[in-house]
Structure 1
Amino acid sequence: MSRIGKKPVPVPAGVTATVEGGQISVKGPKGTLTMPLRDEISYSVEGDGILVKPANDTKQARAFWGMQRTMVQNLITGVTEGFTKTLEITGVGYRANAQGKTLKLQLGYSHDVNFDVPEGITIATPDQTTINITGIDKQKVGQVAAEIRRWRKPEPYKGKGIKYRGEYIFRKEGKKK
């Protein structure tokens, strides 16, 4: 039994959820999100919550149960609050600047890196070493953060690079004489 899957997903006031045509659609103050449904799981909107249950008693249905409930929860959280990831840049001369739909990164290369911001994502740079990525789709926010981080991952000797806020970088000792 999935402890997470057993709990119904609460639908707050101002949010409407519908299950039809092989997908679940959630509409809220920040926008609309849809997700395709799995055949192994049954979804039902009852009262002020969405109930997620396995449609049959197979191992695969039990495996998807908790994850599908969490994905429905992410839809509701996205349309009400949204998701944010914060990246921090460490290194001499490393900086970021958001210009409209483009993020300009200076990361020690011979050229500047121009990252085009995808639709539905907002990028802000409160200062030159911080990047805030905001959106209603949790998967898309995480993917954009990973793509930006990939340009210069933190290295273990000096810790230079782009890291997530709160991420611990394992530091190595340099060469001994």
Structure 2
Amino acid sequence: IRNMIQGVSQGYSKTLEIHGVGYKAEPQAGGLKLTVGFSHPVDVRAPAGIRFTVDGNTVIRVDGVDKELVGQVAAELRRVRPPEPYQGKGIRYQGEHVRRKAGKTGATAAKA
């Protein structure tokens, strides 16, 4: 009940960041258009009670009254292109730390 009261009075929001060359989000009527490295843009529809806000093509804010629905929609957006550990490209939550992996060690030595 406490979450419902806070949802109506203040609302809930989750912020996602898009990292990667050429990766961007554009607001559309009733949803988002994501360009995240696929050969086609990905259209995401906003469910009832959810509002998307895009700041500068790389920051998406998901706002709504229902805490669970806001988290679910944010997780679905992240699932479109999750951050990958080698270059760090993808959609991540704001403040999320992506563990980076080292690439192949023999790649530069083999070319020389």
Question: Which residue in the other structure is 2:81 paired with?
Answer: 152
Identify the residue that residue 112 of structure 1 maps to in structure 2.
Answer: 41
TM-score by length of 2: 0.92
Is the counterpart of residue 122 in structure 1 residue 71 in structure 2?
A: no
**For the residues of structure 2 that align with 1:170 and 1:77, how far apart are their CA atoms?**
33
Write out aligned runs for 1:56-71 (5 A).
none
In the TM superposition, residue 100 of structure 1 has moved relative to its aligned partner by 2.1
How far the C-alpha of 1:73 sits from its partner, in A, is 1.5
Runs of 4+ in 1 over 4 A off after TM superposition: none
| Alpha-carbon distance in 2 for matches of 1:162, 1:145 | 10
Q: Where does the alignment leave 5 or more consecutive residues of structure 2 unmatched?
A: 107-112
Q: 1:17-37: CA deviations, max 9, x gaps?
A: xxxxxxxxxxxxxxxxxxxxx
- The structure having more radius of gyration, on CA atoms, is 1
> Following the alignment from structure 1 to structure 2, what is the Cα–Cα distance between the partners of residues 111 and 105?
9
1:138 and 2:67 are equivalent in the alignment: yes
Aligned mates of 2:3, 2:96 — CA distance in 1: 22
Number of the residue aligned with 1:95: 24
**Which secondary structure does the structure 1 equivalent of 2:77 belong to?**
helix
Q: Deviations over 1:139-176 (max 9, x none)?
A: 00001001111110000011100000011101111110
Match of 1:125, SS state, is: strand
Of all paired residues, the percent bearing the same amino acid is 53
CA deviations on 1:116-144 (whole Å, 9 max, x unpaired) are: 11110000101111100000100000010
Matches within 5 A, 1:16-31: none
Within 2, Cα distance between the matches of 1:126 and 1:107?
16
TM-score, length-scaled by structure 1: 0.59
Question: Which of the pair has the greater relative contact order for Cα pairs under 8 Å at 6+ separation?
Answer: 2
Q: In structure 2, what is the Cα distance between the partners aligned to 1:124 and 1:94? A: 16
Aligned residues: 106
Question: Which residue of the partner structure matches residue 110 of structure 2?
Answer: none
